[in-house]
Amino acid sequence: MSDQLNPTVPSIVAYQGVEGAYSHLSCKKVFPQYEACACDDFQSAILMVEEGSAEYAMIPLENSTAGRVEEIYRLLPKTHLQIVAEHFEPVNHCLLALPGVKLEQIKTVSSHPQALAQCFHHLETLNIKAIAAADTALSAKDLSLDINASHGAIASSLAAELYGLNIVAENFQDVSGNTTRFIVLAKNASADAYDDKLKYITSILFTVRNIPAALYKALGGFATNGVNVIKLESYMDGGTMEASHFHIDLAGHPNEAAMVNALDELNYFAKDVRLLGSYPAHNYRVKHDFV
């Protein structure tokens, strides 16, 4: 990330969750010099940026195991914030216990249902009973206030650090590679000039016109101009079933000639086209060659 976009805005990055959550961990990695502020829900985190009490919001958009975060796709059209960066965070679950407690002492463990599912076989092998809870980090926080040495939690290494817990097993998930993609929202996009040495992602919202083959025609410009469509999501918005809205991620920058031509065609066949942001592709994409 570049230097602070607006020096009058507090150096705060807002996130949804409890201290020690994976969103909190992502904030610390991307913005190590910023204060991370926990919010009760996604809308509150976004509102902090809209009102100027935070500069950025760190928002999870999709997970390689659980899929897209449905609520975010409903919130994005309602905010005027822009995507200024993306971050891929590997989800490395840790089995946590009270200080001095060893692995063989643990009989029950609590965490978010998704985390428990991702650790199912390890828990089954160890004959540990899973107890569903609202949040991974909250499970760690509750454990720190417990006196039951046979109980544990599955959460991040940051949660262990914050709540004084012992990590009895790292990378406790059954399958490696589970990753969450976050987007960073801000009021204004960075003024950094386009750099042709970098790879970019451009995110767009649009609605197709009510004509035959509208989506096919709207996307045709990307094919004919050689622009790679990385992701296409459809969803309903506004409480009706009259029109589908689309979120599309493209490989490229709006200043590139091919993208200019492709966006011209999109604007002709679609309506309510909105550029959510254009930002450098995260190193995770480059490493795994999907940009």
- Rounded CA separation 2/7 (Å): 12
- The verdict on 78 and 107 lying in the same domain is no
Among the listed residues 170, 161, 159, the one whose alpha carbon sits nearest the alpha carbon of residue 103:
170
Domain assignment present for 192: no
Amino acid symbol at 79: T
Please confirm, yes or no, whether 180 is among the known catalytic residues: yes
Given 31, 136, 172, 180, which residue is catalytic? Answer: 180
Domain assignment present for 195: no
Give the chain's mean pLDDT. Answer: 91
Which residue segment(s) compose the domain that 210 sits in? 200-288
- Residue 266 reports pLDDT greater than 50: yes
- The verdict on 159 and 19 lying in the same domain is no
Looking at the structure of the chain, the number of domains it has is: 3
- The verdict on 280 and 261 lying in the same domain is yes
- Rounded CA separation 206/194 (Å): 24
β-pairing, 166-169 with 94-97? antiparallel
Q: Which pLDDT band holds residue 241 (cuts at 50, 70, 90)?
A: low
Mean pLDDT, rounded, for 120-148: 95
User: Which region holds residue 100: left if phi is over 0, alpha if psi is between -120 and 50, else beta?
Assistant: left
- The verdict on 86 and 120 lying in the same domain is no
Given 31, 42, 182, 269, which residue is catalytic? Answer: 182
Instruction: Give the contacts of 25 (CB within 8 A, at least 6 positions apart).
Output: 89, 156, 157, 158
- Between 214-224 and 257-269, two packed helices, what is the crossing angle to 10 degrees? 170
For the chain, the C-alpha Rg in angstroms (whole number) is 21
Domain assignment present for 6: no
- Rounded CA separation 116/284 (Å): 25
CATH code for the domain in which residue 105 is found: 3.40.190.10
Please confirm, yes or no, whether 246 is among the known catalytic residues: no
- The verdict on 79 and 182 lying in the same domain is yes
Instruction: Report DSSP state, residue 269.
Output: H
Q: What length does the chain have?
A: 291
91-130 tens-digit pLDDT: 999 999 999 999 999 999 999 998 999 999 999 999 999 9
- The verdict on 58 and 182 lying in the same domain is yes
Predicted local confidence at residue 242, as pLDDT: 62
